[in-house]
Amino acid sequence: MPPYVDPLVLKSQVGVNDTYKDVPGYNKCSEDGRTGWLTMYSLARALQHELGITALSNSFGPTTMSRLEAHGPVGSSTRVNILKIVQAACFCKGYHAGDLNGEWDGVTTSGLSLSGHPTAALAMPLRTPNTPWKSDKSANGWPIGGPSSVFRIEGTNHSITLAVGSAAGVLLHAVRRFNYEIDALRDGDAKGLSTDRAVTSPERSNLLSGTAVLIRPDSFPLGTTGNLYPNEITILEDIVMEAGGVISWGGHLKIPDQGLLYIAKPPLSAATSRLAKRCDETDAMGTAGGVGQINAFERDRLREVELFLEQKVG
C-alpha cells in the first residue's frame, strides 16, 4: 500500500522550498506530502528568515523567541509570507487552517485555536519543547540504565535495542505485526533504547528504559494526526487490544504520538510476563495468534477491540 500523501502538506513543502531555496542557511525538505521534523525544520528556518535572523537553525532559541515576542500576535495585519508559514505549520501538525494563501480568515483562526495555541500562534505550531528527563525511571516506572540487548526483528534484516526480559518479547511481537500487517520496515524505521534525555513527552521517556519503540518518527511527528490510513489504525488498535493493557499506543494520547508503542505496566508485572510467553509460543509455532496469522478485520475481533477501547481509552 502506498504511503498516505496529504495534499496540503505537499503544497506546504513545495511552497516553502520554492520561496526560500535561495536563502543562505535554508535547508530544503522532501516534497512527499508526509509531515515530519525535516519539514518542520524547514518551516522554522523560513520563519527565522522572515523575522530578520541571518544565522538560521532548526531550533527555537532565545533570539527566535525574542523576535517573535517583538512581532506580536499573528493576525490580519501579519505579512503574507509569515501567515503562509503559520498555515503550513498547522497543516503539518494535523490542523486545518484554510488554504496556503497567506490570508487571515475564520478558518485560519479556528485552526490555530484548535491547535491549542490561540495566543503566540506564530511560534507554537512549530515548537515542541525538549525537556530533560531527570528521573532514574521512565514514565512507566521501568529503570533507566538497566540491562539491554540488541534483538533481531524477525521477518526483516533489521535489529533494535530493548530492555532485556518480557518487555522485549512483547514489543518485538508488536513491531513484527507492524512489519507484516501495515508496512515493511526499512533500516532505521524502528527505534528502541535511547540515551537522549531531552524528551518531547513523558511517554517518550520510556525509550530511555528500553521499554518503548518509536516507529518512523519523521513520518509520524509528535502532535500530528492524519499520517495513517484507517485500516492501519485498526491494526494498531488491535495490537493494543491483543496486549490487554500491557502495551499502549501513542495515537490514543491527548497529544498524539502515532509512531510510539510502549509498555504500560510496571516492572515485574505478571501480565507482561504472561503476554511475552504467549507471544513467543505463538510466533515460534506460527499458530493462530502468531504474527502473520492474525486477521484484525474479523467482525468479532473488531467488536472486541471496540469494547476494549471503550473501557481503556474512552
Residue-wise pLDDT for 69-93, tens only, equals 787 777 777 889 998 998 888 787 6
Q: Tell me what the mean pLDDT of segment 221-243 comes to.
A: 88
Q: Tell me what the mean pLDDT of segment 277-286 comes to.
A: 74
Domain boundaries, the chain: 7-126, 148-312
Start-to-end CA span in the chain (Å):
30
CB atoms within 10 A of CB 309: 14
The mean predicted confidence, pLDDT, of the chain is: 84
Which pLDDT does position 292 carry in this prediction?
62
Which pLDDT does position 119 carry in this prediction?
30
Which pLDDT does position 124 carry in this prediction?
45
CB atoms within 10 A of CB 185: 21
b/e per residue, 198-237, with b = 16+ CB within 10 A?
Answer: ebbbebbbbbbbbbbbbbbbbbbbbbbebbbeeebbbbbb
Which pLDDT does position 2 carry in this prediction?
53
b/e per residue, 7-31, with b = 16+ CB within 10 A?
Answer: ebbbbbbebbbebbeeeeebbebeb
Residues 6+ positions from 136 with CB-CB distance below 8 Å: 143, 144, 145
Query: Helices then strands (H, E): number in the chain?
Result: 9, 8
Which pLDDT does position 138 carry in this prediction?
95
Phi-psi map region of 268: left, alpha, beta (phi>0 left; psi -120 to 50 alpha): left
In 3D space, the residue among 88, 82, 89 whose CA is nearest the CA of residue 67 turns out to be 82
The Cα 130–Cα 197 span in angstroms is: 9
Which pLDDT does position 11 carry in this prediction?
94
Dihedral of alpha carbons 107, 112, 101, 67, sign: positive
125's grid cell: 505550531
147's grid cell: 540491562
The Cα 114–Cα 103 span in angstroms is: 18
Which pLDDT does position 114 carry in this prediction?
42
CB atoms within 10 A of CB 38: 16
Which is higher by pLDDT, 201 or 124?
Answer: 201
